[in-house]
């Protein structure tokens, strides 16, 4: 029991004389030292393992041997543990339960990651802007902000994206898929954000945007900005061919068509 309790404690009584590793039991320390002594060393790549069973499992990565087969779908695995985790896909078993919110998970790793939502722990830090993340994949995705990498390419128009989810949303431009349906008028939208805007503008009576010059109110900030032009006389739309400026975009388009033959 005392040895087991050390697993949950930050204090580990047994320290390695070769490195800074600390272990919760003498047997765990003995296994760890096998890495330094090279007792269980792979002859193909030189990797040192904790035990003979770990080495045997590692060797399968070179041989391609997969002795553990799923009885449901016949998928094969190099290790029994991987087969056990895979089996939960078919059984639906989720044995790992969060003690803080009662959510359940099929793998211990998923539970450990989830726990950080409660603790606020963000161990994956960006070395370029100091942002921190709960998961390593979140950090990998974030790094594309700095590198400019866009690995997800649309096969229909060659646009590229930094995230697969953004590519999936973009594809609806081509497929015309509109999965987000308004429950009040049955109008459909390709993105959830468009649906929320629609509900706010069409079905909501809220008008939170107030004109600073009169008492009129508006549902959206864009509507307010357009209205304010009446008070200020602002003409934000300029012709690229001449010095004419316009209060409304439709006026600019009419001008371009009439005087510069653009849009014909």
Domain of 217, CATH number, reads 3.30.160.60
Neighbour-count burial for 49-61, b at 16+ CB within 10 Å, e otherwise:
bbeeebbebbbee
Q: Which of 110, 126, 147 is the last residue of a domain?
A: 147
Residue-level pLDDT at 245: 92
Distance CA 175, CA 213 (A): 45
**Residue spans of alpha helices (H) in the chain:** 2-8, 26-37, 52-63, 80-91, 108-119, 136-147, 164-175, 192-198, 221-232, 249-260
Label residue 212 by pLDDT band (50, 70, 90).
Answer: very high
- Say what percent of the chain tops pLDDT 70: 95
Answer whether residue 24 shows pLDDT above 80.
no
- Whether 109 is in a domain gets the answer yes
Answer whether residue 213 shows pLDDT above 80.
yes
- Whether 6 is in a domain gets the answer no
- Whether 114 is in a domain gets the answer yes
Q: Which of 106, 121, 147 is the last residue of a domain?
A: 147
Q: Tell me the average pLDDT across 174-197.
A: 88
Residue of higher predicted confidence among 2 and 93 = 93
- Whether 66 is in a domain gets the answer no
Helix, coil or strand: residue 188: strand
- Whether 135 is in a domain gets the answer yes
Contact 58, 47 (CB under 8 A): yes
- Whether 219 is in a domain gets the answer yes
Neighbour-count burial for 131-154, b at 16+ CB within 10 Å, e otherwise:
eebbeeeebebbbeeeeeeeebee
Specify the number of domains making up the chain: 2
Nearest to 191 by CA among 163, 162, 171, 219: 171
Residues of the domain holding 109 = 96-147
- Whether 253 is in a domain gets the answer yes
Using DSSP bridges, classify how beta strands 68-69 and 48-49 pair: parallel, antiparallel or unpaired: unpaired
Predicted structure pTM score? 0.46
- Whether 16 is in a domain gets the answer no
């Amino acid at each position: 029991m005392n040895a087991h309790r050390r697993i949950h404690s930050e204090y580990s009584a047994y320290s390695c004389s070769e490195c800074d590793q600390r272990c919760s039991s003498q047997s765990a320390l003995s296994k760890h030292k096998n890495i330094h002594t090279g007792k269980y060393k792979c002859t193909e790549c030189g990797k040192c393992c904790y035990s003979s069973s770990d080495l045997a499992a590692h060797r399968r990565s070179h041989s391609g041997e997969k002795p553990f087969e799923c009885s449901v779908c016949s998928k094969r695995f190099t290790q029994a543990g991987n087969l056990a985790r895979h089996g939960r896909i078919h059984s639906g078993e989720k044995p790992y339960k969060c003690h803080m919110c009662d959510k359940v998970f099929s793998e211990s790793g998923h539970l450990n990651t989830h726990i950080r939502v409660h603790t606020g722990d963000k161990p994956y830090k960006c070395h370029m802007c100091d942002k921190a993340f709960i998961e390593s994949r979140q950090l990998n995705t974030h790094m594309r902000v700095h590198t400019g990498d866009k690995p997800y390419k649309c096969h229909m128009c060659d646009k590229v994206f930094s995230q697969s989810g953004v590519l999936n949303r973009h594809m609806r431009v081509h497929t015309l898929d509109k999965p987000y349906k308004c429950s009040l008028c049955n109008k459909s939208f390709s993105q959830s954000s468009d649906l929320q805007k629609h509900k706010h503008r069409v079905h909501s009576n809220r008008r939170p945007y107030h004109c600073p010059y009169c008492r009129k109110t508006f549902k959206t900030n864009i509507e307010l900005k357009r209205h304010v032009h009446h008070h200020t006389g602002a003409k934000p739309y300029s012709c690229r061919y001449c010095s004419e400026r316009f209060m409304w975009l439709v006026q600019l388009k009419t001008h371009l068509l009439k005087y510069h033959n653009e849009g014909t």
